[in-house]
């Protein structure tokens, strides 16, 4: 929603900010007397009521019923986020705790990602999410294949960032162990700083020129592996924090949110969109996951490796979350996580 055309006086901006801060703390409609006490403008409740009515007329506030105070609309919240939000500085203690929590050995990067969402969920009191770097865009230094049962292969990959990933690849036929060993040796000989997509292209091109005993198996296997890794993976922590928020006491609403977390597809789409952005992105209500999580806000940021984003992480909470703190938490955690990847 575009808020650039909205022109508010300094007094109206202060009143809107006061209402939103009070709403963040209470989850309740905010009345003129509360604003009069908190805004520090020296205005009477009657004057503030008139100003609130003006903000309602231009679509920044609404009144849930005639005897209630006002609540911000999505447009009102977006205006606040675009023009009035002041980021909260993290305490030294918070910074140290995040840095210590994200210490790892190179082989433990997946555990570090899980630790990152645990930290964000704990420090924010909301849910936290992180997308795992996808194998298709990682440079590989090792691939190993283990036959679990007919048609099911465990793929163990190691990237040059130190990321160790285990993925199951389902195929419609069985590959004997000796064939898997043959494929493993062949692929290992080709792994010279290639990502999976590059490796696949090179091998398919070679197969056009030179037939091999396992050419059909290899091409199909790489296709299956590519599809598996393209699905992406996301870690989530703190889902039950939603149960503590009064606006999610409705059973159908909390069920829809938990189902979205369980299915993950819409969440991954939004996290992937964030990879193309610079810095922290904030989505509220219909801007984010729309019908799936209409009463939620999301604060997301990409974390980077040596030269490009690897994934995204962030906080998911009620639309009235404390964005001033959430932005700082997400920004700092993404920064520290990126530094750890570079060090590895």
Instruction: For 151-163, write each residue's pLDDT tens digit.
Output: 888 877 777 666 6
Instruction: Considering only the C-alpha atoms of the chain, give the largest distance between any 2 of them, rounded to a whole number of Å.
Output: 87
Q: Is the pTM of this model over 0.85?
A: no
Give the separation between CA 273 and CA 312, rounded to whole angstroms. Answer: 9
Fold equal for 10-84 and 92-132+233-343: no
| Number of C-beta neighbours around residue 294 at 10 A | 16
- Give the model's pLDDT for residue 218: 58
Spans of the chain below 50 pLDDT: 210-211, 213-214
Is residue 290 within 8 A of residue 264, CB to CB? The reply is: no
Give the separation between CA 19 and CA 88, rounded to whole angstroms. Answer: 18
CATH number of 10-84: 1.10.10.10
- Give the model's pLDDT for residue 211: 47
CATH number of 135-230: 3.30.390
- Give the model's pLDDT for residue 289: 76
Domain ranges (residues) in the chain: 10-84, 92-132+233-343, 135-230
Give the separation between CA 272 and CA 340, rounded to whole angstroms. Answer: 21
From residue 217, give the alpha-carbon distance in Å to each of 173, 198, 224, 246: 9, 18, 10, 55
Total residues found in the chain within this entry? 344
- Give the model's pLDDT for residue 6: 93
CATH number of 92-132+233-343: 3.30.450.40
């Amino acid at each position: 929603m575009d808020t650039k055309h909205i022109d508010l006086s300094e007094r109206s901006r202060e009143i809107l900010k006061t209402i939103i801060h009070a709403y963040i703390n209470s989850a309740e409609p905010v009345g003129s007397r509360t604003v009069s006490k908190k805004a520090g403008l020296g205005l009477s409740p009657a004057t503030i009521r008139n100003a609130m009515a003006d903000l309602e007329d231009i679509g920044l506030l609404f009144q849930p019923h005639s005897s209630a105070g006002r609540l911000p609309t999505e447009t009102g919240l977006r205006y606040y986020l675009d023009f009035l939000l002041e980021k909260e500085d993290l305490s030294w203690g918070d910074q140290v705790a995040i840095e210590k929590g994200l210490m790892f050995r190179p082989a433990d990067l997946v555990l570090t990602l899980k630790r990152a969402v645990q930290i964000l969920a704990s420090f924010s009191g909301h849910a936290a999410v992180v997308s795992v770097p996808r194998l298709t865009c990682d440079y590989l230094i090792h691939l190993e294949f283990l036959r679990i049962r007919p048609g099911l292969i465990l793929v163990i990959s190691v990237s040059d960032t130190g990321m160790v990933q285990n993925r199951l690849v389902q195929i419609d036929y069985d590959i004997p162990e000796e064939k898997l060993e043959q494929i493993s040796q062949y692929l290992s000989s080709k792994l010279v700083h290639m990502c999976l997509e590059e490796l696949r292209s090179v091998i398919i091109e070679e197969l056009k020129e030179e037939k091999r005993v396992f050419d059909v198996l290899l091409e199909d296997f790489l296709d299956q592996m590519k599809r598996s890794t393209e699905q992406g993976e996301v870690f989530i922590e703190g889902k039950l924090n939603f149960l503590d928020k009064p606006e999610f006491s409705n059973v159908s609403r909390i069920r829809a949110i938990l189902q979205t977390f369980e299915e993950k597809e819409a969440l991954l789409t939004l996290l992937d969109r964030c990879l193309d952005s610079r810095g922290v992105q904030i989505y509220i209500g219909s801007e984010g996951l729309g019908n799936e999580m209409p009463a939620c806000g999301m604060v997301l940021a990409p974390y980077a490796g040596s030269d490009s984003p690897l994934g995204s992480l962030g906080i998911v909470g009620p639309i009235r979350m404390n964005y001033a703190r959430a932005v700082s938490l997400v920004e700092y955690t993404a920064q520290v996580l990126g530094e750890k990847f570079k060090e590895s």
